[in-house]
Amino acid sequence: LDITISSDVPLGAGLSSSAALTCSVACAIDDEVGSELSPRDLAAVARDSENDYVGAPTGTMDQLAAMLCEADSALLLDCRDLTTRSIPFTIADAGLTLLLMDTNVRHSLVDSEYGARREDCAAAAADLGLRSLRDATAAQLVGLDDERLRRRAHHVVSEIARVEQVAAILDAGRPGDIGAQLTASHLSLRDDYEVSCTELDVTVDAALSAGALGARMVGGGFGGCALALCRADDAEAVLAKVRRAYSDEGWKPPTVYDPKPSPGAHRVS
């Protein structure tokens, strides 16, 4: 196969560029040779290409999102059994908007530290006698003697709870109310999982101080993008505050995107 790739997906920005590449190529090959693999099968192939060929210890969330997401929806994924469910996420109808702000910072330690976090989570689960932290409860975490592993596990367990809360809020048709969970997620990523960085923290803090309903880093951390949920009328003020914060730090301004919940990989022509 002779494949030409044209892309404007930012590399290393925490926007799942590797999954975008592998899933789109897998779909194109499947379409060309007529193997008729299911979207889930293609997601598995894409993950295997990263895990086995590249050696990147990725999970499967990015690939399943790239294959299964639907327009104007959020995808709820349970990593215990890989079941998924689409939830309406029509924020424009609620007078809201998402701001995706790329710090344009790429720290080299993201790959090694991601692997280290995976190892910490596996060790914490083993210490608790569990297959994975998906099966852990907050009460069980007090049994972890290693303070670092306890914090890593606390992030995972609390993040699962936040995801469930967000799903319930979206099911109830109140997308503006998920902001607190977004912010709590960032604080947990910063303090318990320790994958944030100064640039991401400044972005989140500036957005919140300007009236964003919630904000968090996205991706593997140590650079890349932060996402902010805002009232549409407040978006310009939020962006202005973030840009001022960057100017005060002597940084180049962030690159800003206007993300839209969109369908997964598919043939476009």
Residue 87 structure tokens: 């939830």
pLDDT digits (tens, 9 = 90+) for 3-22: 999 998 888 888 889 999 99
Which residues of the chain fall below pLDDT 70?
108-111
Which pair of structure tokens corresponds to residue 170?
Answer: 């979206």
- What's this model's pTM, rounded to 2 decimal places? 0.93
Instruction: Please report, for residues 7, 253, 265, the alpha-carbon distance to residue 249 in angstroms, rounded to integers and kept in the order given.
Output: 31, 10, 38
In degrees, rounded to 5, the angle at the alpha carbon of residue 60 between the alpha carbons of residues 58 and 61 is 110
Q: Is 233 one of the catalytic residues?
A: no
Alpha carbons within 13 A on the beta-carbon side of 30: 19
- Residue 108: per-residue pLDDT: 66
73-78 long-range contacts (CB < 8 A, ≥24 apart) are 73/261, 74/166, 74/167, 74/170, 74/261, 76/163, 76/167, 78/134
pLDDT, residue 192, reads 98
Number of residues in the chain? 269
In degrees and rounded to multiples of 5, residue 77 shows phi and psi of -120, 130
From 62, 102, 177, 234, the catalytic residue: 62
H helices, E strands: number in the chain: 8, 6
Q: What's the rounded Cα separation, in Å, for the pair 45 and 22?
A: 8
